[in-house]
């Protein structure tokens, strides 16, 4: 994990909602949080990432890798256009990913 990226457990929201949550900070600034989720009867733990951008809380995606979710929060906070969920929530234009010789992967797939 990035050295200046830290996580701190958050207290439960209420007596009935004891969902495990962690605050994510970068260089001391609060940039988002993670929530533990279970899907169905699975024993696997997943982590839902949320990032704070322009006074908005943007829901990113689920993943079983805690550290990777922290890195995704940092990446979306630094550059909102790098994450599809942040881009959509903020109404940013789509970026060209995988450009090689001026042709995107998507261009190759369309007839």
Prediction pTM value: 0.79
* CA pseudo-torsion sign 26, 31, 36, 39: negative
Q: Residue 97 belongs to what domain range?
A: 5-109
Tell me if 25 sits within 8 A of 31, measured CB to CB.
yes
Q: For residues 73 and 25, what is the distance between their CA atoms, to the nearest angstrom?
A: 10
Domain total for the chain?
1
Residues 6+ apart with CB under 8 A from 45: 36, 37, 38, 64
54-86 pLDDT, tens digit each: 889 999 989 999 999 999 999 999 999 888 888
Q: What is the pLDDT of residues 30-54, one digit of tens each?
A: 999 999 998 888 788 999 999 999 8
């Amino acid at each position: 994990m990035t050295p200046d990226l830290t996580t701190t457990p958050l207290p439960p929201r209420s007596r009935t909602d004891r969902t495990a949550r962690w605050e994510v900070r970068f260089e001391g600034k609060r940039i988002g949080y993670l929530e533990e989720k279970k899907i169905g009867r699975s024993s696997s733990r997943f982590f839902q990432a949320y990032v704070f951008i322009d006074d908005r809380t943007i829901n990113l995606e689920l993943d079983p890798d805690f550290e990777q979710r922290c890195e995704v929060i940092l990446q979306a906070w630094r550059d909102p256009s790098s994450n599809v969920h942040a881009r959509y929530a903020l109404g940013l234009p789509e970026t060209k990913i995988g450009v090689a010789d001026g042709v995107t992967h998507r261009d190759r797939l369309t007839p």
